[in-house]
Amino acid sequence: MSFTTRPEILGTFGVATSTHWIASAVGMRMLEQGGNAFDAAVAMAFVLHVVEPHLNGPLGDLPAMIWPAGEDRPTVVCGQGVAPAGATIAHYRAEGLEMIPGSGLLATVVPGAFDGWMLILRDHGRLSLREVLEPAIHYARAGHPMLPRVANTIAGLADFFRDEWPSSYATWLPGGQVPEAEALFRNPDLADTWERLLAEAEAKSARAAQIDAARMAFSQGFIAEAIDGWMRDACVMDAAGGRRKGVLTGQDMAGWQASYEAPLSVDYHGWEVFKPGPWAQSPGLLQSLRTLEGTDVASMDPNGADFVHVVTEAMKLSFADREAYYGDPDFAVIPIETLLSRDYAKTRAALIGARASLDQRPGVIAGHEDWAAAAVERAARETLATGIGAGEPTMAHLTEKQPTKKHPTEKRGDTVHIDVIDRWGNAISATPSGGWLQSSPVVPGLGMPLNSRAQMFWLDEGLATSLKPGARPRTTLSPSMAARPGGARLAFGTPGGDQQDQWQLIFLLRLVHSGANLQQAIDAPLFHTTSFQASFYPRGVNPGHLMVEPALGEAAIADLRARGHRVEVAEPWTVGRLTAAQRDASGLMRAAATPRLMQAYAVGR
């Protein structure tokens, strides 16, 4: 057996895995006290809001996939909020914008994460609202050891918070002091918010009624009122360098709820892989699998240059299609059947050559030629002169297109991920994000900032991703599930913005073709490309870029450079934050988490 950084966790009672060890332990605690996978995931999510506030928050976004025991297929939970009624292209253009900033109040859509979690808890959980919220309240009130990355993020924004976002200064620099790494940090306003929410919800006696009362308090009660009242007057500095007011209102929040929908899926070498729809980037992974069916990837060394080259070229094609064709299917006719068809995939596989492509090559689909042409034009407009090169959005490098001194709020946030399976066979994969401390001011009195997901809309008319009131932004958030041959069910995912479906694809291919276990597939060297239009402001393109971990080896890296890839070698163990959980047909459960960044953990027994 090859060396792994930690064991693949095995057990029969339950497994919980996430991007922070405290959240994983809390999830296991919920399972131990009689909760199921859905209770555990909700409790984990609210803890992650506290311990990873630079990566997610309660006013952020939530795509999730749930697979209740006994169901044949998983279900998608859409906790992705929509553009406010006042979010029109005309309004944003009148504000002097050609692109939606990556921070500030105009970047905000309706907060979706809270209602998504409440929908899951009410319909599929067993525990009370208080039981799942108490761990988060504890860590917000009593304190949690602050991650060094959070402390560094706050330190870098201290002057900006003091001068421009005073509510954030009060929350993240209590007493005017930059918090120390690993020292206990508290967010008493957030604890107070959840205590008040519980008090109002517990005026009802029945469990479901309490959860619905909490949803009402959030979307139409005191939380919405606080947001609405503040947004009426708030005018704050954003990443585009101007002070601007937002357009989100309490009425926008009252008019939206999380929902369920069917997943998309493809079959691949006896597996069936499930993903959310084209309002997320998720179908890109499915398209890549279809494209790779037309190659020899199955016989390649999964750590070799041939594998890296072919998979990278397939991903470039899929992400070119993402930019041209993905968007909210409630507002645009998305040709998803064509994009996921084997006939279309054959035309895409035929484009993979011996050399790295530097071009944007969306497929041309009848009736949508203008979308493809517009995507190519946008990519040419935003092409960067040097690499953006970031392993994750939190590590964005300077570029020649950007000023030497970036705007302080261009410290883009990232994401968290949760996978849980319980002893009854319920499973969940969730990728919450948004509401980052560095991209929007804290709402006074609530202890949490708004999201900035609207930056994924374009301010051009007639596109699948044009800004429209009521539409979902085409998010990068992308949980995954799969049914393996023999009946095993797999839940997996990762943070990483545009890299999410790249790292997940590589992980999945190694499971399918190399016989690796979950931990081996996660530990293996990762890579990704930024050779397509980025989802995050300033939406750059870096043709031919390929970031690889040095563990691929010098020979493979030299081979890739010889094929024309513009290779950037990452620091060791820095690319990817994958976690995964699986339940075999026998009932044996497995879980694994990345050692990268030294935060993620899988637990189980």
| 1-5, 291-295, 308-312, 326-330, range with the lowest pLDDT | 1-5
Does 396 share its domain with 284? yes
Does 210 share its domain with 308? no
> The domain containing residue 553 runs over which residues?
277-406+495-577
For the cut 60, the answer to whether the pLDDT of residue 349 exceeds it is yes
The predicted structure's pLDDT at residue 398: 27
The per-residue pLDDT for range 462-496, each reduced to its tens digit, is: 999 999 999 999 999 999 999 999 999 999 999 99
**Is the four-CA dihedral 491, 497, 502, 507 of positive or negative sign?**
negative
What average pLDDT score do residues 95-108 get?
A: 96
Assess if residue 469 is contained within a domain: no
Does 309 share its domain with 418? no
Question: Looking at this protein, which amino acid is placed at residue 59?
Answer: L
pLDDT classification of 138: cutoffs 50, 70, 90: very high
Stronger pLDDT, 395 or 221, i.e. the higher one = 221
Assess if residue 476 is contained within a domain: no
The predicted structure's pLDDT at residue 161: 97
Does 399 share its domain with 419? no
The predicted structure's pLDDT at residue 77: 98
The structure tokens listed for 575 are 């690319």
What average pLDDT score do residues 122-150 get?
A: 97
Q: Which residue has the tokens 């002091």?
A: 177
The predicted structure's pLDDT at residue 391: 33
In SS3 terms, 92-132 reads as: HHHCCCCCCCCCCHHHCCCCCHHHHHHHHHHHHCCCCHHHH
What CA–CA distance (Å, rounded) separates 200 from 216?
10
**How large a percentage of the chain has pLDDT more than 90?**
94
Does 217 share its domain with 322? no
The structure tokens listed for 208 are 């479901």
Does 292 share its domain with 247? no
What CA–CA distance (Å, rounded) separates 514 from 510?
5
The predicted structure's pLDDT at residue 414: 78
pLDDT classification of 390: cutoffs 50, 70, 90: very low
Q: Which residue has the tokens 């080259």?
A: 309
What CA–CA distance (Å, rounded) separates 116 from 123?
11
What average pLDDT score do residues 518-530 get?
A: 98
Query: What element of type H or E holds 560?
Result: helix 554-562
The predicted structure's pLDDT at residue 409: 58
Does 359 share its domain with 304? yes
For the cut 70, the answer to whether the pLDDT of residue 508 exceeds it is yes
Does 555 share its domain with 540? yes
pLDDT classification of 404: cutoffs 50, 70, 90: very low
The domain that holds 398 is classified in CATH as 1.10.246.130
The structure tokens listed for 227 are 């947001």
For the cut 90, the answer to whether the pLDDT of residue 396 exceeds it is no
What average pLDDT score do residues 237-258 get?
A: 97
Helices 21-32, 37-51: axis angle to 10 degrees equals 150
The predicted structure's pLDDT at residue 381: 86
For the cut 50, the answer to whether the pLDDT of residue 400 exceeds it is no
Does 321 share its domain with 224? no
Mean pLDDT of the chain: 94
Does 399 share its domain with 424? no
The per-residue pLDDT for range 186-220, each reduced to its tens digit, is: 999 999 999 999 999 999 999 999 999 999 999 99
Beta-carbon neighbour count of residue 318 at 10 Å? 28
**How large a percentage of the chain has pLDDT more than 70?**
95
Does 391 share its domain with 442? no
Does 418 share its domain with 396? no
pLDDT classification of 279: cutoffs 50, 70, 90: very high
